Structure 1
Amino acid sequence: MHAIEPIYQPMLLAGTPADADRVIEVRNPFSGALVGSVPQAEKRQIRAAFAAAARFRPKLSRRERSDILLGTARAIASNQDRLARLITAETGLCLKDSLHETRRACDVWSFAAHALIQNDGEIYPGDIGGNPHARRIFSMRTPLAGVIAAITPFNHPLNLVSHKLAPAIATNNRVVLKPSEQTPLTALALGRILREQGLPDGMLSIVTGTPHDLGDCVFTDEDAELVTFTGSVRVGHQIAERAGYRRLVLELGGNDPFIVLADADVDRAAQLAVQGAVRHSGQRCTAVKRALVVEELADRFAERALHHMQQLSTGDPSDPSVDLGTVISEDAAQLIARRVDGAVAAGARLLLGGEPRGAFCPPTLLDHVPPACELVAEETFGPVLPIIRCNNDIEEIVMTANATRFGLSAAICSNRLDHVTRLIEGLAVGSVNVWEVPGYRTELTPFGGIKQSGLGHKEGIVEAMRSFTQVKTYSLPWPV
């Protein structure tokens, strides 16, 4: 095992390192070894972070912001191995997945740098309508008057933090970031990179602590104008209920269907489904949560999915050859196991799996899964591929896919354009991919869901930059 020497990392309050009376330990989910520790912030420190941000007025030019963003992308690339090993140590994800995350994060920062040089305003004629005037109306985007409160989850400790910070810096905003208490070290490492790239201290605070100790103060602070949160539906609902009169961007869970129609190449579909279910230990809101397979292909699909799942290498996540690491904790693995057992008790057939060992949840394949069992009715965050058999009827498949409170993403395996277009139109989700996993996207494209999967603007660099700005219009006399 590639060991990381335990480290202590202070918080960053307006760029200044800060400690607290208590600390939070971060332990490796695979080995249980101490990875490091961070301060357990006090509420007064959260207030101080927001107050410092509110006093600061960023005046970075577009060129200065672009230099910081591009410099951050280069620094992540040059520190890729170190950051990936830190991610693996904090999360238990295999090194392959952690390296993939660092590459995605590089895209976030470089794409934001390029997006900010585009004109973000529009021009409207005044000599129209029933009362024409010889004027032009111009729109421009300005930073928020208040501070952005950003809260991120454990599963993408570099990329999801980047998706909050890069668009905010690109638009000259100030942020107080609260990363997951389970994976704070990666966020703090990114904060140090940003300071090294010249980010003014007042633009960013990174505070660490547990929700139990901090309560609502991160998203109810008087200087927080916008709350951007990625995480569970339960916490998203709490934020929506308690945040009061302020802007919200909530990216929540998913229950993503992987639909296999009768004309599909079965082996290709099965390989994609396994990849989409187990990559990142299945801990993605866009992971394959349900394979909806037409009955006539289901036996062959199950056989090929079993074959591909059995090829996965498991073991020490820091080993570059390993394909599947752990989930975030032993409790998470036990929850997955209980849901798998519940599905089997309800009539599903377990084709591959086993009891979890600590935080390691073995790759798991089930067939004949009842659509109403908890395993597929809720978002199961783990390396599990449940097969739900369906009649070869597009409308029935749409109904089955949509029979969930979530609406994030979906995938379709079919070459029939008529069926594909009917599914794209009928599926109640934010994105659909054909012959790809549900989670496919670039860091530039809009991303987000409907129903219980999200509220407010979508993510993706351009959409986030829009949500982190205000539109101001002005008009000038203009000859017709």
Structure 2
Amino acid sequence: MNARDGTTNARKDSAGFRAEALRIDGERIRTERHLDVVNPYTGERVGTVGLATIEHVRRAYEVAQACVPTLSRYERAAILNRAAALLRERTEEASNLITAESGLSKRDSVYEIGRVADVLGFGATEALRDDGQVFSCDLTPHGKRRKVITMREPLLGVITAITPFNHPMNQVAHKVVPSVATNNRMVLKPSEKVPLSALYFADLLYEAGLPSGMLQVLTGDPREIADELLTNPSVDLITFTGGVSIGKYIAHKAGYRRIVLELGGNDPLIVMDDADLDKASDLAVQGSYKNSGQRCTAVKRMLVHEKVAHEFTERVVAKTRAWRYGDPMDATNEMGTVIDAAAAKLFEARVEEAVAQGARLLAGNKREGAMYSPTVLDRVRPEMTVVREETFGPVSPIITFKNIDEAIAISNGTAFGLSSGICTNRMDDATRFAKELNVGTVNLWQVPGYRIELTPFGGIKDSGLGYKEGVQEAMKSFCNGKTFTMPW
């Protein structure tokens, strides 16, 4: 399927075509069947990956369970630091791969490589840090002269990691790096839409010295292998980033296993009547269109005080029309494609539905295959599908409100609770938002997606179970806590 005109053609192979294999026990395992990885912009085959069978999956868990990591803290940190240095040296190559398989612009993919290097660096630093505690026991009249010492140990079983398409390498890094840093074993199943970046990252770690038993990588059709990834007897913890329906399926299927779910978002940027509208509109378009709007923390709804809605909307429309999009490999473009033509068609249909229900289209809603233009709608009502559901693309729906009570009610009126951005200079309003918004993060004068790779990240309600990601929190969740007492 040609990404731009929607016609069916015989696929051509790209210049950098990669014929990939599974990674099991340090070997590249070729399979009888394979899956094509297609450039969303050109329609060319970027590469192929193997379709794992149930037998491949079971073998991967056997290898992982049999591995007993003995890396010291120093050795783990050294591996992660070497991988970070290698990745920075190969920024152009790695970012080209991300752009080729995902359609993300070069600006976005180069930025993603920097983020992955940060994850590796933070993982190395945290691997060196012993966060154990010491408690004295003679704190009460009936206490004893003893000490309680806490420590964290790797899980007894294997971690299953399942990652999505929107950040092809950084989402993988946020699973794999904490696993390495804590001396765990992991079986990784990346998105079948963008598997090449995950395999590239795994090879980088192996090159940096990671024992092969600590990381197995499986590619394939989730309909065939997902249940084994969730229920294999060796699985101790499942970490998943992706859609709500699959996350709830995992929760149902996992049984007596730990699960960390980072699911969807419907994040608002809330603009109060005292806001600097030029700054607020900059945040609005950046939060909506970077990464082609394909972030769980992208600005999915713009909630704007009715007193400033007209001026704010004019600024957003002007900046949207100036946002350059097109060929993802053209470094002058700020946005490439979305993940595939089916996603673009969904965004187009939701916008058309909203317009039919009374919304006003102010810019965009143009589609060619997987290319979808930055789009602005106003007169949007909270019950419209475009804002009731997570619209995972470059769409900017504007909803007006009369006062802060209404803004909070609209923001909280969805099934999601991931993040938010607030534009106000009034501290009383800012503190109300921080206290009353039912989300995992409230960012004052920043986009909902603002964070660093180290800090806790995650949501509530349909955005997740409340367990946090981010390097530090993920490392904690990937460990068993143990206490040791002694007469001291």
Q: Tell me which residue corresponds to 1:161.
A: 172
Q: Tell me which residue corresponds to 2:333.
A: 322
How many Å apart are 1:274 and its aligned residue? 0.6
Select the residue among 104, 108, 113 that pairs with 1:97: 108
Correspondences of 1:238-249 after superposition (within 5 Å): 238-249=249-260
Question: Which structure 1 residue ranges, 4+ long, deviate > 3 Å from structure 2?
Answer: none
Correspondences of 1:74-473 after superposition (within 5 Å): 74-129=85-140, 131-391=142-402, 393-455=403-465, 457-473=467-483
CA gap 1:456/1:432 in 2 versus in 1, 3 angstroms = closer
Q: Tell me which residue corresponds to 1:47.
A: 58
> Residues 413-468 of structure 1, C-alpha deviation per residue, up to 9 Å, x if partnerless?
11111111111111000001111110000001000001110125200111000000
How many Å apart are 1:130 and its aligned residue? 5.1
Separation of aligned partners in 2, 1:382 and 1:175: 31
The one-letter code of the counterpart of 2:446 is: E
Separation of aligned partners in 1, 2:486 and 2:18: 58
Tell me the percent identity.
49
- The answer as to whether partners of 1:248 and 1:456 remain within 8 angstroms in 2 is no
1:73 corresponds to 2:73: no
- The answer as to whether partners of 1:4 and 1:89 remain within 8 angstroms in 2 is no
The number of residues matched between the two structures is 476
Separation of aligned partners in 2, 1:325 and 1:379: 20
> Residues 120-172 of structure 1, C-alpha deviation per residue, up to 9 Å, x if partnerless?
21111111335311111111100000000000000111101000011100000
**TM-score (norm: length of structure 1):** 0.98
Please list every run of 5 or more consecutive structure 2 residues that lacks an aligned counterpart in the other structure.
1-12
What secondary structure, in the 3-state scheme, does the structure 2 residue paired with 1:375 have? helix
How many Å apart are 1:346 and its aligned residue? 1.1
What secondary structure, in the 3-state scheme, does the structure 2 residue paired with 1:370 have? coil
Separation of aligned partners in 1, 2:124 and 2:172: 16
- The answer as to whether partners of 2:137 and 2:148 remain within 8 angstroms in 1 is yes
Separation of aligned partners in 2, 1:394 and 1:129: 48
How many Å apart are 1:3 and its aligned residue? 5.4
Separation of aligned partners in 2, 1:241 and 1:26: 30
- The answer as to whether partners of 1:346 and 1:370 remain within 8 angstroms in 2 is no
CA gap 1:211/1:60 in 2 versus in 1, 3 angstroms = same
The one-letter code of the counterpart of 1:451 is: K
- The answer as to whether partners of 2:459 and 2:466 remain within 8 angstroms in 1 is no
**TM-score (norm: length of structure 2):** 0.96
Q: Tell me which residue corresponds to 2:75.
A: 64
What secondary structure, in the 3-state scheme, does the structure 2 residue paired with 1:5 have? strand
CA gap 1:209/1:3 in 2 versus in 1, 3 angstroms = closer
What secondary structure, in the 3-state scheme, does the structure 1 residue paired with 2:134 have? strand
Separation of aligned partners in 1, 2:29 and 2:233: 22
How many Å apart are 1:319 and its aligned residue? 0.7
More divergent stretch after superposition (440-449 vs 130-139) = 130-139
> Residues 393-424 of structure 1, C-alpha deviation per residue, up to 9 Å, x if partnerless?
11111011000000000000111111111111
